[in-house]
């Protein structure tokens, strides 16, 4: 009889894991807390490594149709001085290219793919308890009073994972990094340049009091410029944050970026919805599993958005776990331990990369800022062009 896998979380890792597990003959049900697919989210990047996973899952064509290819990136100072411009021929180097897209579009594609693969998804099923007794199926209990059984549970329930808290109540939770990163989509995008394939690299500006990134992307509403700001700030109080108007958010952003090179202020002013986002970090967990319950994706190892690898790491997890379970699903705790051994060194390295990039976005004195910019002008053209093969050329097979 096919083994039953309960996947908690229908974000990115959950549905793609479900596709791979269905390909391997497992019976899969995904339990998602939300009542419907999330309609919230800004832009998201998928590196060559993440795209390789989506190719294996049969989702590459759909993702390409809803995204734009990313050609490279550039960095300038807040006065508009160009520090570096990098263009990578990813197709030649890695046999695949990275993309930028709206997270809602990625989520929809993953969810449709999962249902097409024969996995079922149950919405409005927030997991509140898990019982794992030897000799019995694992039992999941939901907020609505219902329950379900499975032979193993894989939790892809995100950075604020409830399952992590349930199976490891003493494990450290997310810690605020001191950086807030609001972002949005601006309709200010040159349709002609977009159609001609120009302007699809990420343009970054590093200032004394923060950072601003922008890139042209395709969204369900059409071409847009996706942008995000990163700057120091106190952790916003949820209630107070909810009361802020769009104008309040714009004014706060313009206080930091208002005199930075255009079109930065123009993008902020023309955006109709600004998503607030406080960057959290999850300290390293003592373990990613307990018995027949495993954490994957952000639930196990949230990587900072500065690495651009959150979704790609979650996707690699999904493919690796399915591969290991395909090889052996008899001793589930042993497979889960092996999964952690395979994945932890790599995710630790990406977490370190994210922290290193995040450190550059904190405020500094004017003197320290200009010293940094001068150093970057000298060193970035040398170091930034080094190919990051360890990151992008990774294969799960």
Ligand X SMILES: Cc1cc2nc3c(=O)[nH]c(=O)nc-3n(C[C@H](O)[C@H](O)[C@H](O)COP(=O)(O)OP(=O)(O)OC[C@H]3O[C@@H](n4cnc5c(N)ncnc54)[C@H](O)[C@@H]3O)c2cc1C
Footprint of ligand X on this chain (CB under 6 A)?
8-14, 31-34, 38, 40-42, 44, 103, 126-127, 156-158, 162, 297-299, 305, 310-311, 314
Rounded to 5°, the CA angle 27-161-120 comes to 25
**Which residue, 312 or 329, has its beta carbon nearer to ligand X?**
312
Closest separation between CB of residue 277 and ligand X, Å? 7
**Which residue, 174 or 310, has its beta carbon nearer to ligand X?**
310
Closest CA to 183 of 267, 105, 99, 63: 267
Closest separation between CB of residue 363 and ligand X, Å? 23
Q: Which residues, in sequence order, are CB contacts of 61 under 8 Å at separation 6+? A: none
**Which residue, 34 or 188, has its beta carbon nearer to ligand X?**
34
**Which residue, 42 or 210, has its beta carbon nearer to ligand X?**
42
> Whole-angstrom Cα distance, residue 161 to residue 8?
9
Closest separation between CB of residue 40 and ligand X, Å? 4
Closest separation between CB of residue 15 and ligand X, Å? 8
Q: Which residues, in sequence order, are CB contacts of 210 under 8 Å at separation 6+? A: 229, 230, 231, 232, 256, 257, 361, 363
> Whole-angstrom Cα distance, residue 153 to residue 167?
11
> Whole-angstrom Cα distance, residue 268 to residue 253?
7
**Which residue, 47 or 305, has its beta carbon nearer to ligand X?**
305
Closest separation between CB of residue 327 and ligand X, Å? 23
Closest separation between CB of residue 344 and ligand X, Å? 15
Coil vs helix vs strand at 27: strand
Rounded to 5°, the CA angle 355-318-393 comes to 60
Comparing every residue's Cβ against ligand X, the nearest one is 11
**Which residue, 155 or 373, has its beta carbon nearer to ligand X?**
155
Locate 272 and state its tokens.
């109709």
CA atoms within 13 A on the CB side of 4: 12
**Which residue, 278 or 373, has its beta carbon nearer to ligand X?**
278
Closest separation between CB of residue 366 and ligand X, Å? 31
Pairing of strands 202-207, 72-77: parallel
């Amino acid at each position: 009889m096919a083994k039953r896998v309960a996947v908690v979380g229908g974000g990115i890792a959950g549905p793609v894991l479900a596709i791979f597990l269905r390909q391997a003959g497992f019976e899969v049900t995904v339990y998602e807390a939300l009542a419907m697919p999330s309609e919230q989210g800004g832009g998201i990047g998928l590196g060559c490594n993440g795209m390789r996973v989506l190719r294996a899952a049969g989702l590459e064509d759909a993702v390409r149709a809803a995204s734009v290819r990313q050609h490279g990136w550039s960095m300038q100072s807040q006065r508009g001085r160009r520090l570096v411009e990098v263009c990578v021929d990813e197709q030649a180097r890695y046999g695949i290219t990275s993309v930028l897209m709206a997270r809602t579009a990625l989520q929809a594609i993953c969810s449709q793919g999962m249902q097409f693969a024969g996995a079922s998804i149950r919405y409005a099923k927030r997991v509140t308890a898990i019982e794992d007794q030897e000799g019995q199926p694992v039992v999941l209990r939901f907020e609505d009073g219902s329950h379900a059984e499975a032979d193993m549970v894989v939790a892809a329930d995100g950075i604020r994972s409830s399952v992590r808290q349930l199976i490891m109540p003493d494990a450290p939770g997310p810690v605020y990094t001191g950086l807030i990163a609001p972002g949005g989509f601006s309709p200010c995008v040159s349709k002609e340049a977009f159609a001609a394939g120009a302007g699809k690299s990420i343009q970054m500006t590093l200032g004394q009091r923060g950072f601003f990134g922008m890139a042209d992307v395709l969204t369900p509403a059409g071409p847009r410029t996706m942008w995000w700001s990163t700057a120091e700030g106190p952790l916003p109080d949820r209630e107070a944050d909810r009361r802020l108007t769009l104008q309040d958010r714009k004014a706060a952003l313009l206080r930091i970026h208002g005199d930075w090179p255009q079109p930065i202020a123009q993008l902020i002013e023309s955006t109709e919805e600004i998503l607030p986002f406080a960057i959290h970090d999850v300290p390293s967990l003592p373990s990613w599993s307990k018995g027949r319950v495993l954490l994957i994706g952000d639930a196990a190892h949230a990587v900072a958005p500065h690495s651009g690898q959150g979704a790609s790491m979650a996707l690699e997890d999904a493919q690796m776990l399915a591969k290991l379970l395909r090889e052996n699903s008899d001793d589930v705790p042993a497979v889960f331990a092996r999964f952690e051994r395979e994945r932890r060194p790599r995710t630790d390295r990406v977490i370190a990369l994210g922290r290193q990039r995040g450190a550059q976005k904190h405020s500094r004195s004017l003197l320290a800022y200009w010293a940094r910019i001068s150093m970057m002008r000298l060193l970035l053209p040398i170091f930034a062009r080094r190919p990051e093969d360890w990151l992008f050329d990774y294969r799960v097979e």
